[in-house]
Amino acid sequence: MRRTLLVLAAAAALALALRGIRLEEDPVHSLAHPDPIRAQVFDRYQAQGLFRDLIFVEAEDLAAPDAQALAAGLREAGYAEAPLFERPSPETVLRLAPLLPPDEVERLMGEDALRRRAGEAASVALLPGGDAVLEELERDPLGLGPALLTRMAGAPSGGGPAVRAYRSPRPLVYDRIGKLYDQLVRLGPRVHFIGGDFFALENYRAARHDILVCTAVSLLLNLLLFHAFTGRRVLLALLLVGSAISYLCGLVAIRAFFGEVFAVVLAYTSTFVGFNTESVVYLSAIDPRRKREALLGVGSALGTTLIGFLLLLTGRTVMIRQMAVASLAGLLGFLGFLALYPRLLASVRFRTFRWPGLALSGRSLVVLCLAAAGVVALAGVPAVATHVDAFRFQTPVLDRQVAHFSRKLDSLSLEDVVAFPAQGSAEEALSGLATQGLVDPARHPLARLPPRAEQEATLRALSGYGQAVARLVALLEEEGIRIAPAPRLPPAVAPLDGWHYLELLGTLGPVRWTDEVGGRRWLMAGLEPGAAGRDLGAAVAVSPRHHYDALLTTLSRELGLLFLAGLVAMAAFLAILQRRAVRVLYVFAPLFLAAAAFAVWARLTASSIHIVHLMGFSLIIAVGTDYTAVAVSGGHGPVERSKVLVAGLSALATFGSLLLARHPVLRELGATVAAGCAISVAFALLVPLRQGAGEGG
Amino acid sequence: MIAALVAAALLAAPGAGPPVTPEGLRARYGGIRRLEADVVQVKEGKHWARPFESRVRLRYTPARVEWETLAPLHALAVIEGDALYLAGPDGQRRDMGPMAGDPRLEAILRFVRALLSVDLPGIERDFALAYGPGELTATPRPGSPLELFTTVRLRFEADLSIASVDLETRDEKTHLRFERVEQEPAPAAHP
């Protein structure tokens, strides 16, 4: 009774500690470049980027009712239309004025234009709310701003429907955004849409599905399995309550170390019941006469599992670290819970079976492992590369939208923008990149910077600015309207150099073209398609897709090295515990076979190793080596084999459940670990190490 | 003119008007196909040398609003969809050029269209509404592109036909007095 109260109190306290935890839907947000300069270049580009807090909708030939319904849908979801180009401040307008052609400036300051402008302003001012027009007129009396925006944004090309931008509501209410999303999908293909909110929404829906389905299926299968092998309901209750405790411990640990939890990590915690089943199995039914062997197996199994989790803890993506923290805390929480019930664990009995098998000698084992290594060498170690598509959920609907807008961005030379460290003038920097075949200078905004002589001609034309403004004010006064604009150009208005021009352009438009980070000047330019894949040295990919692909590949390589380091640590740990090289080799033998199978599969399917495979490998060495460790520690006795069978089937059920997930991270993780564990459990059950093998060390 | 404003203000004093409710306004103005009225507009504020009175003919249909100033000058502003254009004396259309496509201008145009037809959902898009005796007061929602307005007040006759609208911005007050309002379907025939 006291134990039950203690458990309930602990569960209540843990649940209370979870208050205020925030959920993050999009796993891409867990990525940050480890190099602070590169991270800053990317973040600053994105802070102003096309997709930051905006969605874009392009509608073509919509009937009036559909257009109205779409406008209502956007409104109800909380979206407010936003300009693609910010209205320049009066100061910025004047600083950019040299960009206008001299003849356009003269036209804007001509008597006809001034009369027309005054007449239009008076007419519009007579509308209710029309004084907003007069405010605008006061800020920019000659209309230089709209002329500049037209020049910078380009005249409507007639090359397709206009794209409209909408500011995202904060916080996101997924139910409302979901309705809008479904409406947009129904309107396709006449409507195209894109924005971070839609990725977050799809990941939210996928994560919600995965959390429910994977947890339910995994729990049910494990309880059925446990019941089938032990036949005791009290043990089911032990597993169920203990799993709840471990789940809470995992979440509290995430809460303690991170501000928010990734939804995909919550879905991943459905695997805890599998780890817990394994712990119950290994710690129960220990024969007092063979306690030493049993504890050797338990120590080996739990130790390798902990090493596997610690390995993931050193990963550089927040999402992977959250999985590791949750796993470690969940495991420790469950072990603490089990410590309250030693008698119950001791009373457990497993059904035993007769197993056929091919006993291996130490020599045969070495040959087998060498052969597997030879297969890996022949098939070749697959390349390590991760694309962002493998890291987050994305339906074919969004795939089509991405493809559509990628084509549009490509036409603007914005699909694959790279920040290049630059020296000298902007023109020299761009010219250098063009010489290397990296960029097309004709597609860079610098191509639209007028020559200095033309800018000077514009400034000469603007010398009549004060007189034109005075004339406009007088014309408006005749209509009874007063405005008080700045009477003359500030003296600082001067021809623009390349860097200055790009900086000003970045303050108005949705794209930053230059920046200063880490004491260096950076020039942004669209990478030519032919240059994709080339080593760009210190340059930074700043378009999200390309940036995350490069970043995930770097992080995958790091995780690969950590995985190898983890294997060495695990081998050292097992060498201390098992004291026989051949026994350690036996524990690792399934990994050799799994590696060979993976290498052949990767060769046949031309697949590469990506970051989720590496996460899976870490879990395989955490879980998959347990079976051989327990089996060899217990001398392949019938009880140990039954334990291996139950734990193995539990792992297969748990990670197999992840195959039902929508999220590619979970699905790929489930497939990798289930395949690795299947090889491992089959090896431990069917290929025992011959008694006495390796006794000589 | 000032006397007229004072009279209008007195007539609209709290408790003096008919009960104005969302249901009542929806019944009166929902599904409106046409509304025409003569409007006397008075604007005063920072940009006006003196209170500026103009006589206006308003013609509203769901697809188009014409705001035709008849005196003291003649001007015809037309709102169609999200576009605003002026029709000159020669009948030629003069688009407001680069102003078109500016979401802030479009928000103002949408609001004007909603306001002139007492389209409650259209007004509520950017304003919080408060109903009082004889009047409806609209205050911009935080973050709305129409925050330039500080208050908008609509006053109604006993039969809920619109009597006047007052719009206030930081620098300007606009008073609209509605006369000879005709609408289709006619209020009596309206369900």
The string of DSSP codes covering A435-475 is HTTS--GGGSGGGGSPPHHHHHHHHHHGGGHHHHHHHHHHH
Q: How far is CA A533 from CA A415, A420, A435, A540, in A?
A: 14, 15, 17, 13
**Range A210-235 average pLDDT:** 86
Whether A21 has a pLDDT exceeding 60, the answer reads yes
The contacts of residue A418 (CB under 8 Å, 6+ apart) are A438, A524, A525, A526, A527, A536, A539, A540, A541, A542, A543, A546
Task: Judge whether A86 is closer than 8 Å to chain B, CB to CB.
Answer: no
Q: Which residues of chain B neighbour A477 with C-beta distances below 8 Å? A: 49
Neighbour tally for A292: CB within 10 Å: 9
8 Å CB contact of B49 and A481: yes
Mapping DSSP to helix (H, G, I), strand (E, B) and coil, where does residue B185 land?
A: coil
If pLDDT is split at 50, 70 and 90, which confidence band does A412 have? low
Name the pTM for this structure: 0.68
Task: Judge whether B46 is closer than 8 Å to chain A, CB to CB.
Answer: yes
pLDDT digits (tens, 9 = 90+) for A183-200: 999 987 889 998 888 888
- Cβ proximity of A271 and A672 under 8 Å: no
Q: How far is CA A523 from CA A64, A226, A440, A673, in A?
A: 44, 62, 13, 44
CA distance A339 to B97: 77
Instruction: Please give the pLDDT value at position A697.
Output: 40
Instruction: Please give the pLDDT value at position B29.
Output: 82
- Cβ proximity of B68 and B76 under 8 Å: yes
- Segment among A298-302, A367-371, A452-456 with least mean pLDDT: A298-302
If pLDDT is split at 50, 70 and 90, which confidence band does A26 have? confident
Provide the pairing of β-strand B93-95 with B83-87. Answer: antiparallel
CA distance B83 to B64: 10
Chain A nearest CA to B93, separation (Å): 12
CA distance A317 to A559: 10
pLDDT digits (tens, 9 = 90+) for A28-79: 777 778 788 888 898 888 776 555 678 888 887 777 778 878 888 888 888 8
If pLDDT is split at 50, 70 and 90, which confidence band does A92 have? confident
8 Å CB contact of A129 and B52: no
Q: Which residues of chain B neighbour A163 with C-beta distances below 8 Å? A: none
B71 → chain A, closest CA residue: A126
* Amino acid at position A311, single letter: L
Instruction: Please give the pLDDT value at position B175.
Output: 93
Q: How far is CA A149 from CA A52, A108, A161, A443, B102, in A?
A: 21, 15, 19, 18, 11
Tokens encoding A262: 């990734």
Instruction: ipTM value, please give it.
Output: 0.81
Instruction: Please give the pLDDT value at position A161.
Output: 59
**Helical segments of B19-58, H only:** 22-29
CA distance A648 to A225: 11
Average pLDDT, chain A: 84
Instruction: Please give the pLDDT value at position A159.
Output: 46
Q: Is the peptide bond before B19 cis (omega within 30 degrees of 0)?
A: no
Q: What angle do CA A538, A539, A544 make, to 5 degrees?
A: 135
pLDDT winner (highest mean) among A122-131, A151-160, A348-357, B61-70: B61-70
Neighbour tally for A576: CB within 10 Å: 11
| Element holding B121 (H helix, E strand) | helix B120-124
Instruction: Please give the pLDDT value at position B10.
Output: 37
Task: Judge whether B51 is closer than 8 Å to chain A, CB to CB.
Answer: no
- Cβ proximity of A632 and A586 under 8 Å: yes
Instruction: Please give the pLDDT value at position B115.
Output: 79
Whether A589 has a pLDDT exceeding 50, the answer reads yes
Chain B nearest CA to A480, separation (Å): 5
CA distance B44 to B25: 29
Q: How far is CA B41 from CA A633, A684, B56, in A?
A: 95, 91, 7
Mapping DSSP to helix (H, G, I), strand (E, B) and coil, where does residue A236 land?
A: helix
Instruction: Please give the pLDDT value at position B3.
Output: 40
- Segment among A11-25, A68-82, A465-479 with least mean pLDDT: A11-25
Percentage of residues in chain A having pLDDT higher than 90: 23
- Cβ proximity of A275 and A623 under 8 Å: yes
Q: Could you give phi then psi for residue A57, rounded to 5 degrees?
A: -130, 130
What region, left, alpha or beta, does residue A42 occupy, with left being phi > 0 and alpha being psi -120 to 50 degrees? Answer: alpha
Q: Which domains does chain B have, with CATH numbers?
A: 17-180 (2.50.20.10)
Task: Judge whether A474 is closer than 8 Å to chain B, CB to CB.
Answer: no
Q: Which residues of chain A neighbour B52 with C-beta distances below 8 Å? A: 480
Chain A nearest CA to B20, separation (Å): 23
**Range A602-615 average pLDDT:** 87
Give me the torsion for CA of A324, A330, A335, A336, rounded to 10°: 120
A166 → chain B, closest CA residue: B103
pLDDT digits (tens, 9 = 90+) for A254-292: 988 887 888 878 878 878 888 888 888 888 877 777 777
| Element holding A80 (H helix, E strand) | strand A80-82
- Segment among A20-29, A56-65, A166-175 with least mean pLDDT: A20-29
Whether A587 has a pLDDT exceeding 50, the answer reads yes
- Segment among A88-102, A212-226, A437-451 with least mean pLDDT: A88-102
- Segment among A354-358, A398-402, A412-416, A630-634 with least mean pLDDT: A412-416
Q: Which residues of chain A neighbour B77 with C-beta distances below 8 Å? A: 123-124, 126-127
Task: Judge whether B29 is closer than 8 Å to chain A, CB to CB.
Answer: no
Q: How far is CA A631 from CA A343, A346, A567, A594, A640, in A?
A: 24, 19, 20, 18, 6
Q: Across the interface, which of A126, A133, A147 has its CB nearest the CB of B75?
A: A126
A241 CB burial (10 A radius; 0-12, 13-18, 19+): middle
CA distance A307 to A569: 8
Compare A473 and A286 and report the one with higher pLDDT: A473
pLDDT digits (tens, 9 = 90+) for A495-507: 999 999 998 888 7
A591 CB burial (10 A radius; 0-12, 13-18, 19+): buried
Instruction: Please give the pLDDT value at position A85.
Output: 65
Q: Which residues of chain A neighbour B69 with C-beta distances below 8 Å? A: 123, 126
Report which DSSP code applies to A415. T
Whether A310 has a pLDDT exceeding 90, the answer reads no
Instruction: Please give the pLDDT value at position A48.
Output: 63
8 Å CB contact of A131 and B101: no
How many residues appear in chain A? 697
Mapping DSSP to helix (H, G, I), strand (E, B) and coil, where does residue B180 land?
A: strand
Percentage of residues in chain A having pLDDT higher than 70: 95
Provide the pairing of β-strand A22-24 with A260-262. Answer: parallel
Instruction: Please give the pLDDT value at position B161.
Output: 87
Compare A522 and A614 and report the one with higher pLDDT: A522
Chain B nearest CA to A414, separation (Å): 23
pLDDT digits (tens, 9 = 90+) for B141-173: 877 778 888 888 999 988 888 899 999 988 889
Q: Across the interface, which of A83, A122, A126 has its CB nearest the CB of B102?
A: A83
Chain B nearest CA to A540, separation (Å): 34
Neighbour tally for A153: CB within 10 Å: 15
pLDDT digits (tens, 9 = 90+) for B94-142: 776 544 445 566 677 777 778 777 778 778 878 888 998 889 999 988 7
User: Number of A:B CB contacts under 8 A?
Assistant: 97
Chain A nearest CA to B17, separation (Å): 24
Whether A659 has a pLDDT exceeding 90, the answer reads yes
Task: Judge whether A123 is closer than 8 Å to chain B, CB to CB.
Answer: yes
Instruction: Please give the pLDDT value at position B106.
Output: 66
- Cβ proximity of A658 and A670 under 8 Å: yes
Instruction: Please give the pLDDT value at position A49.
Output: 56
Compare A295 and A432 and report the one with higher pLDDT: A432
Task: Judge whether B84 is closer than 8 Å to chain A, CB to CB.
Answer: yes
Whether A492 has a pLDDT exceeding 80, the answer reads no
pLDDT digits (tens, 9 = 90+) for B76-103: 888 876 677 887 666 677 776 544 445 5
CA distance A596 to A371: 9
If pLDDT is split at 50, 70 and 90, which confidence band does A153 have? low
Nearest partner of A500 among A96, A88, A41, A49, judged by Cα? A96
Chain A nearest CA to B170, separation (Å): 10
If pLDDT is split at 50, 70 and 90, which confidence band does A301 have? confident
If pLDDT is split at 50, 70 and 90, which confidence band does A515 have? very high
Instruction: Please give the pLDDT value at position A674.
Output: 93
Nearest partner of A162 among B128, B53, B106, judged by Cα? B106
Instruction: Please give the pLDDT value at position A147.
Output: 83
